[in-house]
């Protein structure tokens, strides 16, 4: 045995052992419970970054722990290989996206292998391979036939200079990131998946996911956004609109209907377009609304603007005319593209009404005013209460409860009692909704219904590096799905990427085709699918990745669902929701038996790092990697200045953000692995923070992790060479006092480690292994046989707890220590509860809640004895200062608090 720890040698030897033994290649096994442990597959961006190392180390710790506990563990890996960065790289470096992607995959696969993850590489898949995406195309045609995929217009970011569609990420301050051109919204036809058909199921099933973090379930619940409300129809005013019809809106606050003072429609709404025809100012306003990104975050941050169309609709209850406004905050994609505005009870409407001088009519006395509202004498019942914006009105029941409606207060949005609402006065909000819905239904002008915030999933992308949408457009037959026999529609790999327009739309050799239905010349669809589609079913494909005949087979039902899914919290909504939907869509196609793809979810906190950039002349940001930057700090450690190492000139300090390719703040783990080895990198990233917590990257502390592994090696070496020979032929049943204490400490650390493993708090598991070594190192050796017996047991525990985190060193020392051939088959260590028993325990003594001392009592001491001992304690006498004890709180096993 080497007396020094040489990670490079032992790590390559262990990896060779696993490869030759095929330790991680698994098949279905009826004798062992299956455990499917999956980490989110990476986008092959070039190199692994710390977020990957963290993600895959966490997944590997769980996998190896279950493996050691006797489960048949499948841990696969693959590549989320389609996506925008490959096209950007193609533009920048003039290398075809396919070539760039495959080269990255090769490099990153080698990095993953170097880190020693227990992956079944026989199941590896890449989503950009035709034998993967052909099944996606096949399923597309099935779902299309079923009506679960359909076509409608969608809004995109259009760059008029590059004549291309941009992702939201590529629009910065309303301009194209490459061209700098002002971005326009443009409506184009797109394919949509009807995820809303599953909205109720996706929502209800969240209640049956105890293995998911509450936080994620809450985010998904809010995202789906089920709301019960009333659809209200406002009949067109014939005089101004010139045609019969109704304007439909949905509201959850039908109780405020009598306070509606205008309606607002989206800029793309038919009424807005109609009014703009003979109103140049309105047309100009609508054109202005067309500028800027389609991202909701941008829209929500915009100043609320609007314009009167001059059109009017009729209030369905009062019969009064309400003006129709165009407002930039109303989105055509949501509901009906129109809202009723009740400025008195909605903050956004309130601000809008104040800005444009629209009437504000209070119709709800806020809930907290309760019974005190005297509607008879209230100004609510006075017609003059319809005040213009800005004019203060005093409302309320009592002299002490006066509110001015000139400034928004959150209480205005609360439910309460109706006032100023004619026949509905005095009703509570909920009663009023019922009454108003009933009256509207009787008039045929509305009814109760459920609405979701969730929108259908637009999957068309006007990009090259994605899965081609298997459709053909024929002048005679319309949109025709590509028949099974002609699948896959293969994406051509030798293509020129310029950043202008869609490459496939410039390739007649791709789009020229014949109609599968009538045989006449036709045009192939040139849009590709959203890359979220590939990642919505890869976890099922892993089970049968080598099946060339079908998308899934019986093996998928053996392995699914994923028992433990590990991935970044940033995927809490989109990826996870799409996957839950897609699994159900596949279930309903008879492809899988499961509905819920991921039984347990661990959302890893992101690894974040500082960002640095320089602005070039045209205002574009060049992001600079932190590794190339020198920083100056003040005495509190805050970064005050940063310079580029290459030229010594200053760079701009950006925020601290998740490591990403686009912000160039990823830290490559390779240097760490090269210098210290994979085990140190793994131990460090596990030790430094609990998995769910965000981790601000810093490599200070890596030394300590490495030092610990060196100590483990040195101690095991001492065991193998000096201590082991002293082992007694017969192991003793009990150990002498001091060694029994060490043994108790050991087993209590093991117990703690098991508890922490159960809640995935791996950082304290790593701490526990350090505490175990500390305890073993200080165990007295004056009784050599007993000492050797303790160290043998202790080391066997320590190495097995360490094995999931640092598998290479554990593998090597398990063999060197003579414990066995393969620690993977050694089983998980068991806590000896008998070793934990103590005769005496120490209690903390508090006087009036303050720590004043401690007392040692028998473990089974009765409460009276503890109280008596506490009151007799010297610290108690001193701090009670002669006062009688008013109360004595005894927390068994913990403390005594004397209150006086």
Partner RNA sequence: GCCCGGAUGGUGAAAUCGGUAGACACAAGAGACUUAAAAUCUCUCGGCCUUUGGCUGUGCGGGUUCGAUUCCCGCUCCGGGCACCA
Q: Of residues 725-764, which lie at the interface with RNA (CB under 7 A)?
A: 752, 755-756, 761, 763-764
CB of 424 or CB of 762, closer to RNA: 762
Q: Which helix (H) or strand (E) holds 346?
A: none
Other beta carbons within 10 angstroms of residue 707's beta carbon come to: 11
Contact flag: residue 687 with RNA (CB under 7 A): yes
| List 214, 553, 615, 722, residue binding RNA (CB under 7 A) | 214
Select the residue interacting with RNA from 92, 222, 398, 721 (CB under 7 A): 222
CA nearest to 118, candidates 39, 212, 186: 39
CB contact set of 88 (below 8 Å; sequence gap of 6+): none
Long-range CB contact pairs, 145-150, < 8 A, 24+: 145/481, 146/589, 147/194, 148/193, 148/194, 148/197, 148/585, 149/191, 149/192, 149/193, 149/194, 149/459, 150/191, 150/192, 150/194
- Residue 166 or 313 with smaller CB distance to RNA: 166
Give the residue, chosen from 850, 881, 882, 884, that forms a contact with RNA under the rule CB under 7 A.
850
Can residue 849 be called a binding residue for RNA (CB under 7 A)? yes
Q: How many residues can be counted in the chain?
A: 900
Measured CA to CA, the distance from residue 724 to residue 417 in angstroms comes to 83
DSSP 677-731: -HHHHHHHHHHTS-TTS-EE---TTHHHHHHHHHHHHHHHHHIIIIIGGG--SS-
How far apart are alpha carbons 546 and 610 in whole angstroms? 42
Class of residue 558 by CB neighbours under 10 A (exposed 0-12, middle 13-18, buried 19+): middle
Residue 574 interacts with RNA (CB under 7 A): yes or no: yes
* Number of residues located near RNA, criterion CB under 7 A: 101
CA 153 to each of CA 137, 190, 477, 529: distance values in angstroms, whole numbers, following the listed order: 21, 6, 20, 16
**Least distance to RNA from the beta carbon of 208, Å?**
19
Q: Which is nearer to RNA, 560 or 896 (CB)?
A: 896
Q: Which of 119, 111, 4, 128 is CA-nearest to residue 53?
A: 111
Judged by CB under 7 A, the residue of 25, 693, 726, 796 near RNA is: 693
Of 5, 43, 325, 352, the one binding RNA (CB under 7 A) is: 43
Of 275 and 651, which has the nearer Cβ to RNA? 651
Nearest distance, CB of residue 694 and RNA, angstroms: 5
Q: Of 302-361, which residues contact RNA (CB under 7 A)?
A: none
Tell me the pairing of strands 840-847 and 895-899: parallel
Helix (H, G, I), strand (E, B) or coil at 807: helix
Task: Please name the residue that has the structure tokens 């090597």.
Answer: 812
Q: Which is nearer to RNA, 93 or 887 (CB)?
A: 887
Minimum distance, C-beta of residue 513 to RNA, in the bound complex (Å): 23
- Per CB under 7 A, contacts with RNA among 116-145 are none
Kindly indicate which of the ranges 101-109, 216-224, 430-438, 793-801 contains the residues binding RNA, using the contact rule CB under 7 A: 216-224
Q: Which of 689, 727, 785, 796 binds RNA (CB under 7 A)?
A: 689
Distance CA 770, CA 711 (A): 10
Binding of RNA by 710 (CB under 7 A):
yes
| Nearer residue to RNA within complex by CB, 476 or 894 | 894
Stretch that binds RNA, among 240-248, 353-361, 528-536, 613-621 (CB under 7 A): 528-536
Q: Given candidates 63, 462, 604, 789, which one binds RNA under the rule CB under 7 A?
A: 462
Q: Which is nearer to RNA, 215 or 398 (CB)?
A: 215
CB neighbourhood size of 281 (10 A): 10
Among positions 701, 728, 818, 862, the unique one binding RNA when judged by CB under 7 A: 701
Distance CA 288, CA 296 (A): 17
In which element (H, E) is residue 890 found?
A: strand 887-891
Residue 496 Cβ, how far from RNA at the closest point, in Å? 20
Q: Between 58 and 97, how does the x/- string for binding to RNA read (CB under 7 A)?
A: ----------------------x--xxx------------
Decide whether 209 or 705 has the Cβ nearer to RNA: 705
Q: How far is the CB of 578 from RNA (least distance, A)?
A: 9
Judged by CB under 7 A, the chain residues 620 through 639 that form the site for RNA are 637
Shortest distance, position 505 Cβ to RNA, whole Å = 13
- Spatial strand order in the sheet of 471-474: 478-481, 471-474, 521-524, 512-514
Burial class (CB in 10 A: 0-12, 13-18, 19+), 586: buried
CA dihedral 544, 550, 556, 561 (to 10 degrees): 110
Site string for RNA, 20-39 (x = CB under 7 A): --------------------
> By CB under 7 A, what part of segment 773-802 binds RNA?
774
For the segment 484-503, give every residue that binds RNA (CB under 7 A).
Answer: none
Backbone angles phi, psi at 878, to 5 degrees: -65, -50
Q: Give the separation between CA 838 and CA 818, rounded to whole angstroms.
A: 32
| Min dist. Cβ of residue 84 to RNA (A) | 4
The label of the residue with tokens 């204490």 reads 741
Query: 247 or 606, CB closer to RNA?
Result: 606
DSSP assignments along 26-53, one per residue: ----TTS-EEEEEEPPPP--SS--HHHH
Name which of 195 and 419 has its Cβ closer to RNA.
195
Q: How far is the CB of 846 from RNA (least distance, A)?
A: 6
Rounded to a whole number of angstroms, the minimum distance from the CB of residue 878 to RNA is: 7
Nearer to RNA, 274 or 502 (CB): 502
Stretch of 265-273, 307-315, 429-437, 564-572 lying at the interface with RNA (CB under 7 A): 564-572
Q: Return all residues near 809 (Cβ < 8 A) that are at least 6 apart.
A: 5, 7, 10, 679, 709, 712, 713, 802
Closer Cβ to RNA, 165 or 258, answer by number: 165
Considering beta carbons, is residue 72 or 535 the nearer one to RNA? 535
Query: Which residues in 637-666 contact RNA (CB under 7 A)?
Result: 637, 655-658, 660-662
Q: How far apart are CA 825 and CA 70, in angstroms?
A: 8
Q: Which listed residue (645, 842, 859, 883) binds RNA by CB under 7 A?
A: 842
Q: Mapping DSSP to helix (H, G, I), strand (E, B) and coil, where does residue 343 land?
A: coil
Q: Cα 264–266–270 angle (5° rounding)? A: 100
With CB under 7 A as the contact rule, the residue among 6, 707, 868, 883 that binds RNA is 707
Tokens of 6: 């040489």
Within residues 577-596, the interface with RNA by CB under 7 A covers none
- For tokens 């309105």, the residue is 282
Among 377, 438, 622, 698, binds RNA (CB under 7 A): 698
The least distance separating RNA from the CB of residue 357, rounded to whole angstroms, comes to: 23
- Residue 311 CB, shortest distance to RNA, in Å, is 27
Q: Which is nearer to RNA, 547 or 752 (CB)?
A: 752
> Which residue in 21, 145, 204, 218 binds RNA (CB under 7 A)?
218
Based on the shown chain and the rule CB under 7 A, indicate whether residue 711 belongs to the binding site for RNA: yes
**Cis, bond preceding 561 (omega within 30 deg of 0):** yes
- Which stretch in 210-218, 362-370, 387-395, 784-792 sits in contact with RNA by CB under 7 A? 210-218
- The conformation of residue 369, written as its DSSP 8-state character, comes to G
Quick check: 531 binds RNA (CB under 7 A)? Answer: yes
Quote the CA–CA distance of 264 and 338 in Å, as a whole number: 6
Residue span 155-174 as binding mask against RNA, x where in contact by CB under 7 A, dash where not: -xx-------xxxxxx----
Which of residues 243, 301, 548, 646 is near RNA by CB under 7 A? 301
Task: Pick one of 136, 268, 530, 596: the residue that binds RNA (CB under 7 A).
Answer: 530
The Cα angle at residue 321 between residues 319 and 322, in degrees rounded to 5: 120
């Amino acid at each position: 045995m080497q007396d020094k720890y040489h990670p490079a040698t032992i790590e390559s030897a262990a990896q060779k052992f696993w490869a030759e033994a095929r330790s991680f290649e698994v098949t279905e096994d009826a004798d062992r419970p299956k455990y499917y442990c999956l980490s989110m597959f990476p986008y092959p961006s070039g190199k692994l970054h710390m977020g990957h190392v963290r993600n895959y180390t966490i997944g590997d710790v769980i996998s190896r722990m279950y493996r050691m506990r006797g489960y048949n563990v499948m841990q696969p890996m693959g590549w989320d290989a389609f996506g925008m960065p490959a096209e950007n790289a193609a533009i920048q470096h003039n290398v075809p996206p396919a070539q760039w992607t495959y080269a990255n995959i090769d490099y990153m696969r080698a990095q993953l292998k170097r880190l020693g993850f227990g992956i079944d590489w026989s199941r590896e898949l890449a989503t950009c391979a035709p034998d993967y995406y052909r099944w996606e195309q096949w399923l597309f045609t099935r779902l299309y036939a079923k009506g679960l995929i359909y076509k409608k217009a969608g809004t995109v970011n259009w760059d008029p200079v590059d004549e291309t569609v941009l992702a939201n990420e590529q629009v910065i301050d309303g301009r194209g990131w490459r061209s700098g051109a002002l971005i326009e919204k443009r409506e184009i036809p797109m394919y949509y998946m009807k995820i809303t058909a599953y909205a109720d199921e996706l929502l209800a099933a969240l209640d049956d996911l105890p293995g998911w973090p509450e936080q994620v379930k809450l985010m998904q619940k809010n995202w789906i956004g089920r709301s019960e409300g009333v659809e209200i129809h406002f009949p067109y005013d014939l005089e101004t609109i010139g045609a019969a019809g109704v304007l439909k809106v949905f509201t959850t606050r039908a109780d405020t209907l009598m306070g509606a003072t205008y309606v607002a429609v989206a800029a793309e709404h038919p009424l807005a377009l109609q009014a703009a025809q003979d109103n140049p100012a309105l047309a100009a306003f609508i054109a202005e609304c067309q500028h800027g990104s389609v991202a909701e975050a941008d829209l929500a941050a915009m100043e609320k603007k609007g314009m009167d169309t001059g059109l009017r609709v009729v209030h369905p209850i009062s019969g009064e005319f309400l003006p129709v406004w165009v407002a930039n905050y109303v989105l055509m994609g949501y509901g009906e593209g129109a809202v009723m505005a009740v400025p008195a009870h909605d903050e956004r409407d309130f601000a809008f009404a104040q800005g444009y001088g629209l009437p504000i009519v209070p119709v709800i006395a806020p809930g907290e005013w309760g019974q005190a509202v005297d509607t008879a004498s209230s100004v609510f019942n006075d017609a003059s209460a319809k005040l213009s914006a800005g004019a203060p009105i005093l409302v309320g029941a009592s002299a002490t409860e006066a509110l001015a409606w000139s400034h928004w207060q959150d209480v205005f949005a609360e439910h309460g009692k109706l006032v100023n609402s004619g026949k509905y006065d005095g009703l509570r909000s909920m009663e009023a909704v019922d009454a108003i819905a009933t009256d509207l239904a009787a008039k045929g002008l509305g009814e109760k219904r459920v609405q979701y915030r969730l929108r259908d999933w637009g999957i068309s992308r006007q990009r090259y590096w994605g899965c081609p949408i298997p459709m053909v457009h024929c002048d005679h037959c319309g949109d025709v799905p590509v028949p099974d026999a002609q699948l896959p529609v293969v994406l051509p790999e030798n293509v020129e990427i310029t950043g202008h327009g869609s490459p496939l739309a410039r390739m007649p050799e791709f789009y020229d085709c014949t109609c599968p239905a009538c045989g006449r010349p036709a045009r192939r669809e040139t849009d590709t699918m959203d890359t979220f589609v590939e990642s919505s079913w890869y976890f099922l494909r892993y089970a049968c990745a080598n099946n060339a005949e079908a998308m899934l087979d019986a093996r998928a039902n053996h392995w699914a669902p994923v028992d433990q899914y590990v991935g970044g919290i940033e995927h809490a909504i989109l990826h996870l929701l799409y996957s839950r939907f897609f699994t159900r869509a596949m279930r309903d196609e008879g492809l899988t038996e499961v509905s819920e793809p991921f039984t347990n979810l661990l959302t890893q906190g992101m690894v974040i790092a500082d960002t640095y950039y320089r602005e070039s002349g045209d205002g574009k940001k060049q992001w600079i990697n932190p590794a190339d930057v020198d920083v100056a700090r003040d005495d509190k450690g805050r970064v005050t200045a940063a310079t580029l190492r290459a030229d010594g000139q200053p760079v701009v300090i950006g925020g601290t953000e998740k490591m990403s390719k686009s912000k160039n703040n990823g830290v490559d783990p390779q240097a760490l692995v090269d210098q210290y080895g994979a085990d140190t990198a793994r131990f460090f990233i596990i030790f430094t923070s609990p998995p769910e917590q965000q981790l601000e990257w810093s490599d200070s502390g890596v030394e300590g992790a490495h030092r610990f592994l060196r100590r483990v090696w040195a101690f095991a070496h001492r065991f193998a060479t000096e201590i082991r020979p002293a082992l007694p032929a017969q192991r003793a049943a009990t150990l002498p006092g001091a060694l029994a204490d060490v043994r108790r400490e050991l087993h209590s650390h093991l117990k703690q480690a098991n508890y922490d493993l159960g809640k995935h708090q791996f950082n304290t598991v790593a701490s526990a292994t350090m505490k175990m070594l500390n305890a073993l190192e200080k165990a007295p050796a004056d009784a050599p046989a007993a000492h050797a017996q303790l160290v043998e047991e202790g080391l066997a525990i320590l190495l097995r707890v360490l094995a999931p985190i640092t598998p290479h060193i554990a593998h090597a020392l398990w063999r060197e220590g003579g414990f066995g051939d393969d620690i993977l088959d050694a089983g998980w260590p068991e806590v000896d509860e008998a070793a934990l028993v103590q005769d005496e325990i120490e209690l903390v003594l508090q006087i009036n809640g303050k720590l004043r001392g401690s007392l040692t009592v028998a473990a089974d001491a009765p409460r009276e004895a503890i109280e008596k001992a506490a009151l007799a304690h010297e610290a108690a006498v001193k701090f009670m200062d002669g006062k009688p004890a008013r109360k004595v709180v005894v927390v068994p096993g913990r403390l005594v608090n004397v209150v006086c």
